[in-house]
Amino acid sequence: MHDSRDRELGMHRNITRRDFLNGVAMTAGAAMMPWDLLAASKSADPETSSNYYPPALTGMRGSHPGSFDAAHSLRDGTFWESAGKPEDTGEVYDLIIVGGGISGLSAAHFYRKATGGKARILILDNHDDFGGHAKRNEFRVNNAFRLGFGGTFSIESPAPYSAVAKGVIEELGIDVPSYSKYVNKHLYPSAGLRSKILFDKETFGVDKLVLNYHPRGGGESEDSASASPELLKQFLADAPLADQAKRDLLRLYQEPKDYYPALTSDEKKAKLARISYASFLKDVAGVHEDIVKLYQTLPHGLFGVGIDAVSAQDAWGLDLPGLNGMKLDPAPGKGMNRDCIPNEEAEKFFFHFPDGNASIARLLVRQLIPEAIPGKSWTDVVVAKANYAKLDASGSPVRIRLNSTAVRVKHLGDAANAKEVEVAYARGGKVYTVKAKNSILACWHVVIPYICEELPEKQKEALASAQKVPLLYTNVALRNWTSFQKVGASSVYAPGMYHSYVNLDLPVSMGGYEFPRKPEEPIVVHMMKAACHPGRPAREQHAMGRMELYTTTFETMERNIRDQLARTLGAGGFDPDRDIAAITVNRWPHGYAYEYNSLFDSFWLEGGETPCEVARKPFGRIAIANADAGAYAYTDEAINQAYRAVAEITKS
């Protein structure tokens, strides 16, 4: 049974992916991955090889195999047993930055501005590519070149960009207001493609694709369908929901009710901040369980958890049904997540590059190391082929050293009086040391207590509490999108499936990159999964999800991807065996920064110092950046925190 279904799904197909079972090369002659190169190469610098080009690798990407072994061994207390004596490179820098994401790259940018541009800077990153979450996936299907975003999707934020963050965007030349020149908003609607919901037989008794009447989880789709009465009517006629559930949904929309009439607006908000939206729907509004199932995964794109772990107050901010009759004062309530507070000015500041914010990372790298990213304009960066050999050139004032995990950061002497910091990093099975006047840790906060043991205990605790949100961002290159056209879908919300969202790529053409206009042309389909475990506190869900993502094989993920696309698009003639050209799973067990949640973080409701404020305190010559330092999973926060960290080490 399993075998014949696998054949139908095309699991036997020789596309560029599963030859790397869970990322490990399984077949002779398969192209080598950078970590294999690192181990096998006689040269200790695989990045200088002309074949070294991570954006074009498919299979398991994101936190790819080989990128986390040193850090995990450090966590488990086994690293130093087998590490051997570190080798001193003799290199001395003004600044060593740990983490080559947007925060680390921005820190280099700000430091150079603050110190007159001559500073010698080393950036270390454990991945084979720079950009952190802002990664790019490239595909070639027949003669077509296609781009996808491997993580950070767009310039967007729940609140307006700060002057500092906007300043960086402008210095890079990015003209955010010109977005409408590059995106073709009419392409899909004019071809009759709409937002749909896939009901699956395991959750709802039958596989059925139905026109979406409203639910959208934010993030990857620009679909702005609103719950018009006509759409809702059509949805209720088609949806495989229990009759009682249909009546309940209609009631939520059409009979607004104040469930706490005796309370003031503030009292109501305080109550709603302490119950989940799932409880609100079940226990307060008393709806049929099908409605809870329909909404359960809706916030995955925003928070990486379902409505069991999102407060009813936040659901009110997101305009989810059932709360409109509560007579709440429109001002944001205490403990609301910034993501749930509507802000028109912020909503207008949106830009999606075909590779997401990888273009921001690449523009930053171009500014820091011009030889590494050819080209001149902010738009031509989209097609520029990075020269990885130039990233760590000995004559360059700024160097980016990939495949290098910082394993120890310490002052040489006591933190108050030391003149230097020493950083040890693992690379290709060896440990090296480098020195600098200062260091900025722009890496994930949960890692810092293991690499910087001299920090105060209270600070290490605060750093460790920054649980990352585990996510999969999957890109599937298809030979054509005729099946999407036939089923009339451009994006699909799938509350019961492995990936909760399936979206055709946003049609953006710029800088010489052309988006496929015809359904017969190859396209990239983006799929999003939050690895959560409903019913538990958010941090626990994230910890379990992280383990799940590290232990699930690529083969299992691929089977789920093929099965989901086949069931979603089957009626449109989609054949996974024939139509899938390549699969890249961007696995992010350490994904979004953890954002405080009124259901689980009492300090968020009560006020006072937050863990991220404790976590980001400077210590001697070491400052701390990353989006984690602001507990907000956005690019502007990564930049803001870099700016603060640089100010801290340059102020004396």
Q: What is the dihedral of CA 472, 484, 523, 181, to 10 degrees?
A: -100
Binding ligand FAD by CB under 6 A: which of 127, 136, 529, 567?
A: 127
In whole angstroms, the minimum distance from the beta carbon of 632 to ligand FAD comes to 9
Output the CA torsion sign for 425, 367, 172, 504: negative
Rounded to the nearest 10 degrees, the angle between the axes of helix 358-368 and helix 102-115 is 30
Q: In this chain, which stretch among 148-156, 489-497, 531-539, 561-569 interacts with ligand FAD, using CB under 6 A?
A: 148-156
101 near ligand FAD (CB under 6 A): yes
Residue with tokens 């049609």: 507
Q: In 116-263, where does DSSP find H-type helix? A: 163-171, 179-182, 187-190, 201-204, 229-238, 243-254
| 515 contacts 508 by C-beta, under 8 angstroms | yes
Of 533, 631, 634, the residue nearest 309 (C-alpha) = 533
- Indicate which single residue of 235, 432, 484, 588 sits in contact with ligand FAD (rule: CB under 6 A): 588
Reported residue count of the chain is: 652
Quick check: 79 binds ligand FAD (CB under 6 A)? no
Q: By C-alpha distance, which of 240, 257, 261 is closest to 197?
A: 240
Q: Is 443 in the site for ligand FAD (CB under 6 A)?
A: yes
Binding region for ligand FAD (CB under 6 A) out of 99-107, 201-209, 284-292, 311-319: 99-107
According to CB under 6 A, which one of 22, 73, 126, 313 is a site residue for ligand FAD? Answer: 126
CA distance 375 to 393: 19
Is 442 a residue that touches ligand FAD (CB under 6 A)? yes
> Which residues are CB-contacts of 410 (< 8 A; sequence separation ≥ 6)?
421, 422, 452, 453, 454
Answer whether 15's CB lies under 8 Å from 583's CB: yes
Per the structure block, which two tokens stand in for 256? 């607004």
Q: Based on CB atoms, which residue is closest to ligand FAD, 353 or 513?
A: 353
Question: Site for ligand FAD (CB under 6 A): which residue of 23, 66, 99, 317?
Answer: 99
Contacting range for ligand FAD; rule: CB under 6 A; set: 10-18, 101-109, 254-262, 452-460? 101-109
Which residue from 60, 83, 124, 398 is in contact with ligand FAD, where contact means CB under 6 A? 124
**Which listed residue (134, 141, 249, 605) binds ligand FAD by CB under 6 A?**
134
Q: Which residue has the tokens 């991955």?
A: 33
Which two structure tokens, joined as six digits, stand for 362?
């690449």
**Which of 158, 635, 644, 645 is close enough to bind ligand FAD by CB under 6 A?**
635
Tokens 């934020």 belong to: 157
Among residues 596, 339, 314, 585, the alpha carbon closest in space to that of 467 is found at: 596
- Checking DSSP bridges between strand 121-124 and strand 469-478, what pairing results, if any? unpaired
Q: Is 463 exposed, middle or buried (0-12, 13-18, 19+ CB in 10 A)?
A: buried
- Cα Rg of the chain (Å, integer): 25
At its nearest, how many Å lie between ligand FAD and the CB of residue 562?
22
**Token code pair at residue 550:** 């590290």
Can you tell me which of 16, 152, 500, 584 binds ligand FAD, judged by CB under 6 A? Answer: 152
Size of the site for ligand FAD (CB under 6 A): 39
Residue 151 binds to ligand FAD (criterion: CB under 6 A): yes
Is 599 a binding residue for ligand FAD by CB under 6 A? The answer is: no
Apex 637 CA angle, 636 and 638, nearest 5: 90
In this chain, which of 141, 209, 326, 451 binds ligand FAD, going by CB under 6 A? 451
- If binding is defined by CB under 6 A, does position 626 make contact with ligand FAD? yes
Of the candidate residues 9, 38, 71, 281, the single one contacting ligand FAD (CB under 6 A): 71
Stretch that binds ligand FAD, among 260-268, 438-446, 560-568, 606-614 (CB under 6 A): 438-446
Does the footprint of ligand FAD cover residue 406 (CB under 6 A)? yes
Q: CB under 6 A: which stretch of 17-25, 81-89, 93-101, 275-283 binds ligand FAD?
A: 93-101
Whichever of 73 and 103 has its CB closer to ligand FAD, that residue is 103
Structure tokens at 559: 């089977």
Q: Which is nearer to ligand FAD, 165 or 245 (CB)?
A: 165
Phi–psi pair at 506, nearest 5 degrees: -65, 135
Write out the binding residues for ligand FAD, residues 454-513 only, by CB under 6 A: 471, 473
444: contact with ligand FAD by CB under 6 A: yes
**Stretch binding ligand FAD (CB under 6 A), from 52-60, 240-248, 572-580, 633-641:** 633-641
CA–CA dist 549, 18 (Å, integer): 16
Interface positions with ligand FAD (CB under 6 A): 71, 98-104, 124-127, 132-134, 151-154, 156-157, 405-406, 442-444, 447, 451, 471, 473, 588, 591-592, 626-627, 633-635, 638
